[in-house]
Structure 1
Amino acid sequence: MLKVDRIALIPHAPGLNVADVYRVAAAIQQQVLAHFARDWHLSAGVAVQSEPSDGVVPVFIVSDDLGGLAGFHMLKNGWPYAVVRYGPTWSVAASHEVLELIADPTGDRTALGNWSGGPCSYVVEVCDPCQLVNYPCNGVLVSDFCLPAYYEQNPPPGSQLSWCNAIKGPKQVLPGGTLAWITQTSQLMQATVDAAGVGRVATLGSYTPGVLGARAQLGALDQTYTRLSHLKLSSAERKALNEAKREATSRRRTVVKLFKDEMQRRLQVSNFQPIQGGGNAKPSDGPDVRPRARRMRSAQGPV
């Protein structure tokens, strides 16, 4: 498993105060060392750079619209990078992306579990289930994150499942959060809970092993399926809705491709060299989409 040792926030947003970037980087560094590493036993250095450099995972801070996302992470030639949109709570999105880059830099880390009576593999995205929960670290808002026990099938009673203790049960998804898994028939599934606390489970499409990381495939699929899967429609309404979904999917993929192309253009200055490491995922159980925790204000969720 690829191990990330160094991460750099790279400001590319007009009007972004570089001093604020250093302040956010310092807070995220404190979060990584004092909070995240305690249970995950993974850490990385977090710095600020003006441009990418060899061996450092870049997190670009941009002013561009990211297709409605606060941030995302992808791979270029097997090396990870992230993009975060600058805004009032961009520090939460930056923290989200940094922690997920450390926990699963290639986007293919999974934890064995069960779904609907059969085995499955849960995608380990440590911030997604609680992504609207945040907390202050050194005076800067950072993202809550799941702890390893969240992915265990039978965690010991009283186990802490997220840093803020907002998650109360394994596979619980908080309002605004998501949890994805791959079934034994290679279907990519996702549980979501909307801001009103309504939970849904949807099939997003087929997963192709060895082509893209699980998280990259998940990000390429249109979330409209999840939002609209609960509606009861006539055949004519369903046909019109399917056409709208196809159009929305095309627009979203076009936006994502444009930004991927732009970020890859910016990354051309470096030939990143992966640093190999090791790691094991833990077993897990079925998702719980019942909202039980207070939702805290944050940016629209990253991926």
Structure 2
Amino acid sequence: MIGYVVNELGSAELQDTPKPIPAPNEVLIKMEACALNFADLLLIKGTYQEKPALPFCPGMEIAGRVVDMGADVSGFSIGDRVAGVAGHGGLAEYAVLEAAATVALPDAVGFAEAAAFQVAYGTSHLALSHRANIKAGETLLVFGAAGGVGLAAVELGKLMGARVIASARGEDKLAIAKAAGADHVIDSDAPDIREQIKALGGADVVYDPVGGAAFDTAMRVTNPDGRILAIGFASGTVPQIPANILLVKNISVIGLYWGGYRKFAPKVLSDSLKTLLDWQVEGRLTPHISHQLALSEAASALSLLKTRKSTGKVVVVA
């Protein structure tokens, strides 16, 4: 089969690679769509918290049809339309998924849409509901609000009844966040960003996939008894948390590594994904896919993320 392979020399390219064989608890799918994430760039560099053995294909979010399955798998049939998240392997013609973290796709949900919203919407759904326990009427501040997870947080926060302040860079990205439901938008490069947020009443919950200066701002604008969700560090700077501010303001910093649930609580992921698929079928979610490219263009697709030329999600399709 053809896959986009990261090899022992640290390079990545399209090449022939063995078709994976499903383990007893896995399903083998013919890939129809694979959505990309910033984490894929880190995987390729070898700086992600998970380090697959070389060689490997990146690509976490996968949708396709079941073509084989392990001996212990039940509840799926050959030809089923499914979606799921693996640690890697999606940028190839065939990929394996753990059956416990795989869900059947309703006919109304396309493969590209299904791939595109698993990590982004799944991360934001678990962060806001499971970890921060956001309540209707609270104010949610979202940094990186035009990116994959940030845009999903804007949309889900609004769906859950929050008042949403979105921060992103530039008018075009702010317009996308506004269209997703943000009540207020603020340019992340504004020199008075803290003052603008405070003028809006501060934030009860902050969703931060950026880190660095964004996290510093979050510490200053979070209201007493508020929560800061540490989702990632796209800025490249992992913040150091001043515990004295946590103490004085009675605020909490809550970490979320969505992929970790694949190992210790996969049913939490599959239950969340089922809820999100129901909302998708009901027309309550609108995944934003800025680019769709073929597997032969995998390098260009990843470059869109690296150069920050995409909004929402980039999807590679078969």
TM-score for the superposition, normalised by structure 2: 0.28
Higher helix share: 2
Larger relative contact order, structure 1 or 2 (CA cutoff 8 Å, min sep 6):
1
Q: Which protein has the larger Cα radius of gyration, Structure 1 or Structure 2? A: 2
TM-score for the superposition, normalised by structure 1: 0.29
